[in-house]
């Protein structure tokens, strides 16, 4: 709140006409013992307040909130008349509200103690002390024309009293006055006055009209107005554990809404945490920030340092939850408050504590401390990035730094050029296309493009600048003709990266994007773009030669790939053939073992000799280093050759026939038959 603003002086004018004695028609239960009432007792009838009572209570609630949060400066004029309730039978002309409005203007012209101190300190510059104020008028208007009559009365009164104050040392002229007219009417009736937002009636007077029903609706409207007038904000403390009066062993969670200066929510606005906002329990009249009750921690390591403390005022000061919370804090206790989050760690952002009998809302720092070292620039959004254009960004900051600009400059249309707007415009031009990461750009990594990139951002180019840009483009064309390599980043890519033609296509597209971003600056920027597009459109024979070269490269790559596939498949086929051969030999050996010892046992079938590893056809080795398949096949073949040895009888056989039971012949002298069967005696 600015010093000596409209909030420095606030005057309440409450209508005392006979109509204000009417009932507001909002009933209040006077007899609370409804459930435990003894039979035969007649219940008390509900009561209702008058329009005057509702207006005075709402005004005093406005004063209470303001005094709780700003106790040291009497910002509210102590001019509320000590009069009784209005008389329904009084003459309306004798208690016209016009007398109150005239008295309010007179009160605004009086010098306050703070204004007198400021004028005394400034002495010669006493005229710098402003005199502004606000008049809040609660009345029951007859129509919109009646409201305009009240506005005209205030405007004329200010004009007359400013003339008197100009010739007085004890009065000050009113420089700005806000008139807030609140039309209140009983519940259930239709309003005869329409709402109207703030409107400037004269250079000195502004007016706004609110049409509100009496009762709790009027109190809610003044609660909203006190937040607007004194820059207040609302915070709702949720999940407050409280013991029940009826059941001392049980507890329930309650909510308490607090008002404080809006500076306590600045961190929410800076961080963009809009999810904490919601509607207060009065409805959609105002927004509130929800914070959860948190169990206090005594560990000093987990304490946060405070960045601000602001006085608070409960919205519903007479409710039991508000009373319990204030008593809890005034007894020397503290409450930590956390932001409600669906996921993630707990974020403690505020703390409630009392000092000297006054309760303060402390703002705790939930971000990095200003005393700590700043984070590394590589720890950016989305993870760790190590290829920021840090050097280029430093040069960019030097080119766009702010300096005092003393000499006035004029635009083409003759209007004065504001230095700050000119700096913003230059910053906008320089950032139309400015990649932040090295791997996202090609032209900014090339020294050959620097002459063009440095002058294309200018608002106006000279003929020499255009010539330098054209030379840069011709130089790039020459580089493409020579097939010079480009600084293409291959971070995160596999293989060789894009081909040379693709690299130059990316470079030309990026250069065109840069030039088109500044094409509307002047006609000479258009000439640079025309030169660029002319150089990009290659002659037909050049395009045909490029196509033939690309087709030849594709064929070579395809044949090389097929050759590699064939070489890798050949050892695999040989290993499969050898594996099948070894499996068949195993089956034949298993059949040869099943021979019955009887005269009728059949003659064992002729066996083919097992092919030794020396006689096996060798796998043709591929040119170059051996593949993993070849190494594995050789290992399997070597292991199999050690396991399977040739039958010793087949090795010593004659005509592929071996004699059985030769040891029996040597021991018993028995003759063996020609076919190899043993005889019996």
How confident is the model over 316-371, as pLDDT tens digits?
988 889 999 999 999 988 888 888 876 666 778 889 999 988 999 999 887 666 66
User: Count of H helices and E strands in the chain?
Assistant: 17, 20
pLDDT band at 269 (very low <50, low <70, confident <90, very high): confident
Cα-trace Rg, the chain: 48
Same domain for 124 and 193, yes or no, is: yes
Residue 124 belongs to what domain range? Answer: 6-32+44-230
Mean pLDDT of the chain: 77
The set of long-range contacts for 333-338, using a CB threshold of 8 Å and a minimum separation of 24, is 333/296, 334/296, 335/237, 335/293, 335/294, 335/296, 336/294, 336/295, 336/296, 336/297, 337/237, 337/291, 337/292, 337/293, 337/294, 338/291, 338/292, 338/294
Residue 375 lies in a domain: no
Q: Which of 549, 583, 601 is the last residue before a domain boundary? A: 549
Higher pLDDT, 602 or 654: 654
More confident residue, 631 or 184: 184
pTM tops 0.85: no
Kindly tell me if the per-residue pLDDT of 295 is higher than 90: no
Residues 252 and 223 in one domain: no
Total tally of structural domains belonging to the chain: 4
Nearest Cα residue to 140 out of 201, 213, 224: 213
- DSSP code for 276: G
For residue 235, being part of any structural domain is answered with no
Do 256 and 346 share a domain, yes or no?
yes
Confidence of residue 73 (pLDDT cuts 50, 70, 90): low
Q: What does the alpha-carbon distance between residue 675 and residue 599 come to, in Å, rounded to a whole number?
A: 13
Count other Cβ atoms within 10 Å, centred on residue 387. Answer: 13
* 359 and 447, same domain (yes or no): no
Q: Is residue 325 within 8 Å of 361, Cβ to Cβ?
A: no
Are 631 and 540 members of one domain?
Answer: no
What percent of the chain shows pLDDT beyond 90? 21
| Any domain includes 303 | yes
Mean predicted confidence (pLDDT) in 509-535: 89
82 and 193 share a domain? Answer: yes
Please indicate, yes or no, whether residues 281 and 326 belong to a single structural domain of this protein: yes
In this structure, the answer to whether residues 225 and 255 fall within a common structural domain is: no
488 and 351 within one domain: no
Asked, for residue 343, whether it belongs to a domain, the answer is yes
Same domain for 275 and 210:
no
Q: Write down how long the chain is.
A: 681
Map tokens 């105002």 to a residue: 286
Using alpha carbons, select from 4, 175, 130, 174 the residue that is nearest to residue 75. 4
Chain segment 564-613, per-residue pLDDT in tens = 554 555 555 555 665 665 666 555 555 544 444 444 444 555 444 444 44
209 & 253 share domain: no
Point out the domain boundary residue: 528, 549, 570: 549
Structure tokens at 311: 């006085």
Same domain, 333 and 458: no
Q: Are 359 and 352 in contact (CB under 8 A)?
A: yes
- Whether residue 288 is predicted with pLDDT greater than 60 in this model: the reply is yes
User: Of 234, 251, 250, nearest to 242 (Cα)?
Assistant: 251
Q: Residues near 170 by Cβ (< 8 Å), separated by ≥ 6?
A: 110, 111
Confidence grade of residue 76 (pLDDT, cut at 50, 70, 90)? low
């Amino acid at each position: 709140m600015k010093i000596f603003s409209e909030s420095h002086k606030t005057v309440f004018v409450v209508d005392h006409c006979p109509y204000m004695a009417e009932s507001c028609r909002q009933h209040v239960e006077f007899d609370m013992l409804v459930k435990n009432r003894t039979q035969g007792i007649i219940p008390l009838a509900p009561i209702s307040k008058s329009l005057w009572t509702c207006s005075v209570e709402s005004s005093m609630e406005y004063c209470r909130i303001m005094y709780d949060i700003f106790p040291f400066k009497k910002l509210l004029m102590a001019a509320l008349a000590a009069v009784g309730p209005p008389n329904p039978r009084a003459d309306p002309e004798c208690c016209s509200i016009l007398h109150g409005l005239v008295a309010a203007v007179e009160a605004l012209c009086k010098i306050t103690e703070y204004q007198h101190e400021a004028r005394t300190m400034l002495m010669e510059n006493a005229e710098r002390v402003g005199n502004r104020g606000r008049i809040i008028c609660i009345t029951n208007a007859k129509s919109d024309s009646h409201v305009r009559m009240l506005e005209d009365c205030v405007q004329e009164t200010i004009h007359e009293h400013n003339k008197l104050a100009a010739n007085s040392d004890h009065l000050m002229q009113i420089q700005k006055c806000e008139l807030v007219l609140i039309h209140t009417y009983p519940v259930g009736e239709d309003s005869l006055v329409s709402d109207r937002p703030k409107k400037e009636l004269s250079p000195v007077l502004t007016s706004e009209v609110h049409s509100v029903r009496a009762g709790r609706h009027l109190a809610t409207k003044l609660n909203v107005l006190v937040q607007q007038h004194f820059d207040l904000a609302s915070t709702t403390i949720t999940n407050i554990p409280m013991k029940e009066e009826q059941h001392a062993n049980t507890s329930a969670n309650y909510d308490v809404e607090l008002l404080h200066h809006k500076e306590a929510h600045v961190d929410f606005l800076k961080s963009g945490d809009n999810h904490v906002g919601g509607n207060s329990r009065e409805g959609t009249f105002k927004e509130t920030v929800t914070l959860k009750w948190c169990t206090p921690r005594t560990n000093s390591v987990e304490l946060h340092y405070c960045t601000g403390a602001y006085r608070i005022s409960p919205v519903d000061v007479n409710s039991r939850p508000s009373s319990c919370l204030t008593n809890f804090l005034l007894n020397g206790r503290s409450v930590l408050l956390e932001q409600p989050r669906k996921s993630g760690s707990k974020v403690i952002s505020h703390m409630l504590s009392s000092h000297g009998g006054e309760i303060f809302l402390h703002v705790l720092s939930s971000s990095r401390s200003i005393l700590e070292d700043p984070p590394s620039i590589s720890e950016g959004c989305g993870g760790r990035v190590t290829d920021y254009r840090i050097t280029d960004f430093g040069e960019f900051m030097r080119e766009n730094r702010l300096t005092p600009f003393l000499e006035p400059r004029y635009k083409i249309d003759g209007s004065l050029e504001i230095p700050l707007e000119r700096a913003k415009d230059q910053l906008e031009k320089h950032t139309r296309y400015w990649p932040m990461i090295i791997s996202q750009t090609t032209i900014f990594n090339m020294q050959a493009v620097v002459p063009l990139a440095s002058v294309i951002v200018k608002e106006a180019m000279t003929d020499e600048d255009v010539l330098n840009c054209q030379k840069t483009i011709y130089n790039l064309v020459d580089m493409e003709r020579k097939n010079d390599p480009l600084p293409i980043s291959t971070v995160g890519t596999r293989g060789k990266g894009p081909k040379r033609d693709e690299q130059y296509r990316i470079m030309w597209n990026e250069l065109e994007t840069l030039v088109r971003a500044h094409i509307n600056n002047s006609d000479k920027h258009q000439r640079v773009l025309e030169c660029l597009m002319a150089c990009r459109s290659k002659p037909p024979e050049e395009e045909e030669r490029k196509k033939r070269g690309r087709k030849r490269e594709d064929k070579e790559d395809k044949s090389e790939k097929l050759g590699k596939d064939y070489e890798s498949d050949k050892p695999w086929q040989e290993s499969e053939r050898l594996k099948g051969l070894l499996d068949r030999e195993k089956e034949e050996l298993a059949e040869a073992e099943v021979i019955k010892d009887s005269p009728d046992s059949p003659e064992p079938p002729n066996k083919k000799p097992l092919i030794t590893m020396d006689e096996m056809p060798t796998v043709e080795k591929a040119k170059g280093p051996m593949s993993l398949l070849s190494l594995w096949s050789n290992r399997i073949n070597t292991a199999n050759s050690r396991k399977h040895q040739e039958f010793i009888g087949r090795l010593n056989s004659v005509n592929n026939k071996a004699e059985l039971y030769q040891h029996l012949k040597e021991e018993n002298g028995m003759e063996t038959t020609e076919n190899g069967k043993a005889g019996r005696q």
